Amino acid sequence: MENYQKYDLQTLKRVIRLADPFKSLFYGCLILGLIMAPVTAFRPYLIKVIVDDNIWQQDLEGLQLNAMFYIGLTLLAFILRYLFIYYTAILGQAVIRDFRAKVFKYFTRLNLSFFDTTPIGTNVTRTINDIEAVNKIFKQGSLTIIADILSVFMILMMMFYTSWRLTMIFLITVPIMMIASYVFKEKVKIAYEKVRTQISEMNAFLQERITGMRVIQIFNAEESEMKKFNSINGKYRQANLDSILYYAVFFPVVELINALALALLIYLGTRGIWNGTISVGAIVAFPIFLSRIFRPIRMLADKFNELQMGLVAAGKVFKVLDNPSVIPDDGTYEPTKLEGEVVFENVEFAYDEGNDVIRDISFTLNRGETLAIVGSTGSGKTTIINLLNRFYETQRGSIKIDGRDIKDYKLHALRNRISIVLQDVFLFNGTVMENITLRDDKISRETVLHAAQQIGTHTYIEDLPDQYEFMITERGSNLSMGQRQLISFVRALVFDPDILILDEATSSVDTETEATIQYAIEKLIDKRTSIIIAHRLSTIRHADQILVMENGKIAEIGTHSELLQNVDGKYKELYELQFSDELVA
Shared domain check, 361 and 299: no
Give the three-class secondary structure for 349.
Answer: strand
List the single range of 355-369, 477-491, 545-559 with lowest mean pLDDT. Answer: 477-491
Write the pLDDT tens digit of every residue in 232-289.
Answer: 888 888 888 887 787 778 778 877 887 888 888 777 777 777 776 777 878 888 888 8
Shared domain check, 207 and 266: yes
Write the Ramachandran bin of 340: left for phi over 0, alpha for psi from -120 to 50, otherwise beta: left
Count of domains for the chain? 3
Question: What's the rounded mean pLDDT across residues 150-156?
Answer: 84
**CATH number, residue 164:** 1.20.1560.10
Write the pLDDT tens digit of every residue in 48-63.
Answer: 888 888 888 888 888 8
Shared domain check, 549 and 411: yes
Which candidate, 89, 79, 68, 66, places its Cα nearest to that of 40? 79
Distance CA 286, CA 161 (A): 12
Write the pLDDT tens digit of every residue in 475-491.
Answer: 677 777 777 777 888 88
Question: What's the rounded mean pLDDT across residues 371-388?
Answer: 84
What is the average pLDDT value for the chain, to the nearest integer?
A: 80
Question: What's the rounded mean pLDDT across residues 208-236?
Answer: 81
Percent of the chain with pLDDT over 90: 2
* φ and ψ at residue 374, rounded to 5 degrees: -130, 165
Say what the pLDDT of residue 75 is.
93
Say what the pLDDT of residue 1 is.
43
Please compute, for residue 371, the number of CA atoms within 13 A of its CA located in the half-sphere on the CB side: 24
**The pLDDT of residue 463 is above 50:** yes
Shared domain check, 471 and 354: no
**The pLDDT of residue 182 is above 80:** no
* φ and ψ at residue 348, rounded to 5 degrees: -130, 145
Shared domain check, 411 and 384: yes
**The pLDDT of residue 523 is above 70:** no
List the single range of 149-153, 380-384, 576-580 with lowest mean pLDDT. Answer: 576-580
* φ and ψ at residue 454, rounded to 5 degrees: -60, -40
Residue type, 275: N
Shared domain check, 111 and 259: yes
Distance CA 113, CA 357 (A): 13
Shared domain check, 267 and 172: yes
**The pLDDT of residue 5 is above 60:** no
Work out whether the CA dihedral 315, 317, 319, 321 comes out positive or negative.
Answer: negative
Question: What's the rounded mean pLDDT across residues 485-498?
Answer: 81
Query: Does some domain include residue 10?
Result: no
DSSP string for residues in 394-438: -SEEEEEETTEEGGGB-HHHHHHTEEEE-SS----SEEHHHHHHT
Longest dimension (CA), the chain: 120
Say what the pLDDT of residue 505 is.
65
Describe the chain by its helix, strand, coil percentages, rounded to 5: 70, 10, 20
Shared domain check, 41 and 23: yes
Shared domain check, 374 and 350: yes
Q: Where are the beta strands (DSSP E) in 53-129?
A: none
**The pLDDT of residue 4 is above 50:** no
Residue 95 belongs to what H/E stretch?
helix 60-109
**The pLDDT of residue 88 is above 70:** yes
Query: Does some domain include residue 30?
Result: yes
- Beta-carbon count within 10 A of 299 CB: 16
Distance CA 38, CA 485 (A): 68
Q: The domain containing residue 452 runs over which residues? A: 425-496
Higher pLDDT, 361 or 474: 361
Shared domain check, 219 and 133: yes
Spatial CB neighbours of 447, under 8 Å, sequence gap ≥ 6: 494
Q: How confident is the model at residue 579 (pLDDT cuts 50, 70, 90)?
A: low
Distance CA 166, CA 160 (A): 8
